[in-house]
Amino acid sequence: MAVCKHAPMDNFEGKIAVVTGGASGMGRELVIQLAGAGCNVAMCDLSVEEMAETKELALAGAPGVQITTHRCDVSDEASILALRDEVIAQHETDHINLLFNNAGLSGGGSIIADTRESWDHCFAVCWGGVYYGTRAFMPLLMAADEGHIVNTSSVNGFWASIGADRPHTAYSAAKFAVKGFSEALITDLRVNAPHVKVSVVMPGHIGTSIVENSVRHGVTELDFETTELMQTVSTMFREHAPMTAAEASTVILDGVRTERWRILVGDDAHDLDEAVRADPEAAYDGLTLGPGLLPDPDELGI
């Protein structure tokens, strides 16, 4: 069967995008940069206050676009379906052009030592949010003249480790699922909706608030004795990152514009990908490249 060729979506002006996890980090920067490119955006998250800050920042540089905020738990399909209905109503649309399944948090590092509640919640957000989001918004993407799904995986989607002595099972399992699902969508979309494209994003260590958000919004085994300590760890993770969330979002949007299905973000992501591909059998025998979720406790003096 012949498949129609479509040009990449190199212009976001007048398009409609849905961004999950838009309150902070890469989600916030995606909203800001999309708005700056003339794109109308519906963002969702759990923090109404932080979404309001994102909206204010985005509109400051793009007063003519429409930006809506929606409180949504991406791990709950009913919440995602309500988000879809709100987007249709508030944007007065029967379609969207871009879906960024970006929301994520950490937790459930060990299937043995950590609680099942923590494990299941991390997996539900990081994988379920992508699956439910894609299911809910696929008809709206197919109704558009051109569409693009952007799923955020991680370097932990091809290397299931953050160090030899720190289990990382729930997050890694979810991110592997996101990567595999996205790759499988390439053929599914080519056959059934060739005007809709898909990209899988695999960031390395990016300066985001994932540590803080995992504690505030997640069910996590991270046992911080004080709020001050949690904030210190979160700040170090963000400020010691080799790439900012804004820089990462630029890489992602450039990847969408050029229709790359595989978007590695950061030199560390490229280095780790190369190392794992070069010797996959030895990937867990002492390979130390790649980002850790938390800084080394010795660096914090704790």
Give domain status of residue 108, yes or no. Answer: yes
Residue 178 identity (one-letter amino acid): V
State the DSSP H helix or E strand holding residue 93, giving kind and residue range, or none if neither: none
Region of 232 (left: φ > 0; alpha: ψ -120 to 50; beta: rest) is: alpha
The DSSP secondary-structure symbol of 281 reads G
Give domain status of residue 4, yes or no. Answer: no
As a whole number of angstroms, the distance between CA 151 and CA 141 comes to 14
**pLDDT, tens digit, for every residue of 132-152?**
999 999 999 999 999 999 999
Give domain status of residue 73, yes or no. Answer: yes
Confidence (pLDDT) at 290: 41
Confidence (pLDDT) at 39: 98
Confidence (pLDDT) at 239: 52
As a whole number of angstroms, the distance between CA 40 and CA 37 comes to 9
**pLDDT, tens digit, for every residue of 35-54?**
999 999 999 999 999 999 99
For tokens 């791990």, name the residue.
75
Q: Secondary structure of the chain: what % helix, strand, coil (to 5)?
A: 50, 15, 35
Q: How far is CA 216 from CA 105, 111, 241, in A?
A: 10, 21, 21
Give domain status of residue 9, yes or no. Answer: no
Q: Domain with 150 in it: what CATH number?
A: 3.40.50.720
Give domain status of residue 210, yes or no. Answer: yes
Range of the domain at 151: 16-280+289-300
Report, as ranges of residue numbers, the positions in the chain whose pLDDT lies below 50.
1-4, 210-217, 220-222, 224-225, 229-238, 289-302
Give domain status of residue 45, yes or no. Answer: yes
Catalytic residue (choose from 131, 132, 171, 284): 171
Confidence (pLDDT) at 163: 82
Q: How many domains is the chain built from? A: 1
Residue 171 a catalytic site member? yes
Give domain status of residue 2, yes or no. Answer: no
CA 36 to chain centre: 20
Q: Is 104 in contact with 21 (CB distance < 8 Å)?
A: yes
